[in-house]
Amino acid sequence: MDSSEIAARLETVEAEARSAVEAAQTVAAVAQLRTRYLGRSGVLRGFTGMIAGLASGEEKAAAGQSINSAKMRLEETLCAREAELGRAAIEGDAGAARPRAGFDFSLPGTRPRVGRRHPVYATMEAICETFGRMGFGVEVGPEIETGFNNFEALNIPMEHPSRDAFDTFYLQGGLLLRSHTSPVQIRVMTRQKPPVRIVVPGKVFRPDAPDASHSPMFHQVEGLMVDEGVSFADLKGVLTVFARDFYGPNVRMRFRPSYFPFTEPSAEVDITCLLCNKTGQVHVPGCPVCKYSGWVEILGAGMVHPRVLEGVGYDAEKYTGFAFGMGVERVAMLKYEIDDIRLFTENNMAFLEQF
Ligand code: PHE
């Protein structure tokens, strides 16, 4: 065996390898051929083993050189075929997709929709923030309540006609969906001694048929302040600060005598209708929100009934307090001039995206 014989055999192997590479149809098949010819126990490695048996230094050098250049040429062939197959795979995919899906690559992309806060939640947070600046902390309670917290503890006995006003959806086991946020007054006062100064945002439920101003589910923010010497004047002051903060300095407020079993005296509080009566003087007839009156009720309020205070173990001789319950949808409708409460729950993007 001499170097020229090695070179001749190399030529045969190289030719065979070249046609195998050309015939390969996938990148994976090319990789297999690389292992077979150039791998650690590949065909060309066998040639390297022959060098030791050669007669002279020159012979060894010549054989080494031809083996090396055969390796390099083969590596080049393998790379070229790999690139060719890779390109064909990409173009083949795109070429196949274009006529099938009719895909137009020049179309602009789909923009993801960015979420935003629901106007009811934004309003609820803003209300809590206004009262927060007056020193009120935020408390929450469960939407599923006991009959005791929703009614009895608030001085609404079973047989009392005022129970109708707070009728709700009943669940099994004496539970119900709370019809107002007032039960959270009971929860907080039962676990905490005075002074109490809180607001309570949350969902409430009533079996009302939906119309422009009624919904079986809506939101309230409850307020409660109990301490020594709290008076109705404090209630008026706190609510006035809220109304001005929320609707601007021109808004007017009126207290109408009313009745709630858990407050005495009680009042319903209206503000001037901001849809038709912005200045407090002009009243445009036909306003769907205030029903021709120029005023809109936004909350119920009063001085906490002594029976409620005694029920939670407070000394009603020593402590007094006020409470109020505000309808969040009402407040939002006036602020944003929305004339139908159903818009809040219809998931109409054109409506929601305005806020
Ligand atoms: N809970 C009453 C309602 O839902 C509102 C209210 C709260 C009235 C606190 C007085 C005091 O109508």
CA 234 remoteness from chain centre = 37
Give me 313's structure tokens: 């173990």
pLDDT digits (tens, 9 = 90+) for 8-26: 888 888 888 888 888 888 8
The answer to whether the beta carbons of residues 345 and 118 sit under 8 Å apart is no
Give the mean pLDDT per block of 10 residues along the chain (355 residues): 82 85 85 86 83 83 84 86 80 56 78 89 96 97 96 92 88 94 98 97 95 93 98 96 90 94 96 67 58 83 98 97 96 88 93 91
The atom of ligand 1 lying closest to the CA of 300 is 8
- Spacing, Cα 254 to ligand 1 middle (Å): 16
Q: Which of 127, 260, 299, 307 to mutate to test the pocket of ligand 1 (most atoms within 8 A of CB)?
A: 260
pTM greater than the 0.75 cutoff: no
- Spacing, Cα 326 to ligand 1 middle (Å): 7
Query: What pLDDT score was predicted for residue 292?
Result: 67
Task: Give the integer Cα–Cα distance in Å for 64 and 7.
Answer: 10
Q: Taking each helix axis from N to C terminus, what angle separates 3-23 and 43-50, rounded to the nearest 10 degrees? A: 170
Q: Which of 182, 206, 304, 330 to mutate to test the pocket of ligand 1 (most atoms within 8 A of CB)?
A: 182
Query: What pLDDT score was predicted for residue 286?
Result: 59
- Spacing, Cα 86 to ligand 1 middle (Å): 73
Task: Give the integer Cα–Cα distance in Å for 206 and 221.
Answer: 16
The answer to whether the beta carbons of residues 332 and 119 sit under 8 Å apart is yes
Edge-first strand order for the sheet with 295-304 is 137-138, 196-205, 217-227, 320-327, 295-304, 263-272, 253-260
Query: What pLDDT score was predicted for residue 101?
Result: 60
- Spacing, Cα 324 to ligand 1 middle (Å): 6
- Spacing, Cα 304 to ligand 1 middle (Å): 10
Query: What pLDDT score was predicted for residue 275?
Result: 67
User: H or E stretch including 124?
Assistant: helix 119-133
Quick check: CB of 344 below 6 Å from ligand 1?
Answer: no
**For residue 328, what are the contacts with CB-CB under 8 A and spacing of at least 6?**
120, 123, 124, 127, 201, 218, 219, 220, 221
Task: Give the integer Cα–Cα distance in Å for 222 and 80.
Answer: 76
Q: Assign residue 58 a region: left if phi > 0, alpha if psi is -120 to 50, beta otherwise?
A: alpha
User: H or E stretch including 307?
Assistant: helix 306-311
Q: Assign residue 9 a region: left if phi > 0, alpha if psi is -120 to 50, beta otherwise?
A: alpha
Residue 314 vs residues 139, 181, 266, 309, 320: alpha-carbon distances, Å: 19, 20, 20, 5, 9
pLDDT digits (tens, 9 = 90+) for 291-300: 667 788 899 9
Q: Residue with the nearest Cα to atom 2 of ligand 1?
A: 325
- Spacing, Cα 269 to ligand 1 middle (Å): 11
Give me 9's structure tokens: 């055999």
As to burial, measured by CB atoms within 10 angstroms (0-12 exposed, 13-18 middle, 19+ buried), residue 177 is: buried
The answer to whether the beta carbons of residues 199 and 140 sit under 8 Å apart is no
Q: Residue with the nearest Cα to atom 12 of ligand 1?
A: 300
Question: Of all residues in the chain, what percent are helix, strand and coil, respectively (each to 5)?
Answer: 45, 20, 35
* Ordered structural domains, the chain, with CATH: 3-94 (no CATH), 119-352 (3.30.930.10)
Query: What pLDDT score was predicted for residue 5?
Result: 84
